[in-house]
């Protein structure tokens, strides 16, 4: 995803399994030069939560396409919080 949304990774991603009960699963943190990408994968429900947070503008539909292409989810519920980073959701 880092390359596809034209970001620069800062170090390698941290991937850690933790939690208990119905919230246990892997969490991934990838620092990027303009902030971070964080994803959590919930074992019990099969849900994935992914947050791409950046001060640099990027196309959220490209990020969504990466998730669709790689994980092939049944559906995606995308929310965009525009922090005035020069990208407007249409």
**Closest alpha carbon to 60 in 76, 44, 41, 43:** 76
Threshold 0.75, pTM exceeds: yes
Reply yes or no on whether the pLDDT at 78 is more than 70. yes
The reported pLDDT for the residue numbered 54 is 93
Structure-token pair, residue 85: 């980073």
Confidence of residue 82 (pLDDT cuts 50, 70, 90): confident
The reported pLDDT for the residue numbered 86 is 59
The three-state DSSP-derived secondary structure of 21-84 is: HHHCEEEEEEEECCEEEEEEEECCCCCEEEEEEECCCCCHHHHHHHHHHHHCCCCCCCCCCCCC
Q: Where are the domains of the chain?
A: 14-71
């Amino acid at each position: 995803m880092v390359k596809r949304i034209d970001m620069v990774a800062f170090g390698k991603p941290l991937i850690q399994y933790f939690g208990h009960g119905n919230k246990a699963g892997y969490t991934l943190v990838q620092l990027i030069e303009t902030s971070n990408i964080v994803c959590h994968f919930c074992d019990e429900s099969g849900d994935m939560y992914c947050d791409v947070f950046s001060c640099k503008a990027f196309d959220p539909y490209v990020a969504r396409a990466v998730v669709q292409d790689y994980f092939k989810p049944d559906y995606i519920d995308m929310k965009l919080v525009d922090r005035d980073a020069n990208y407007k959701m249409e």
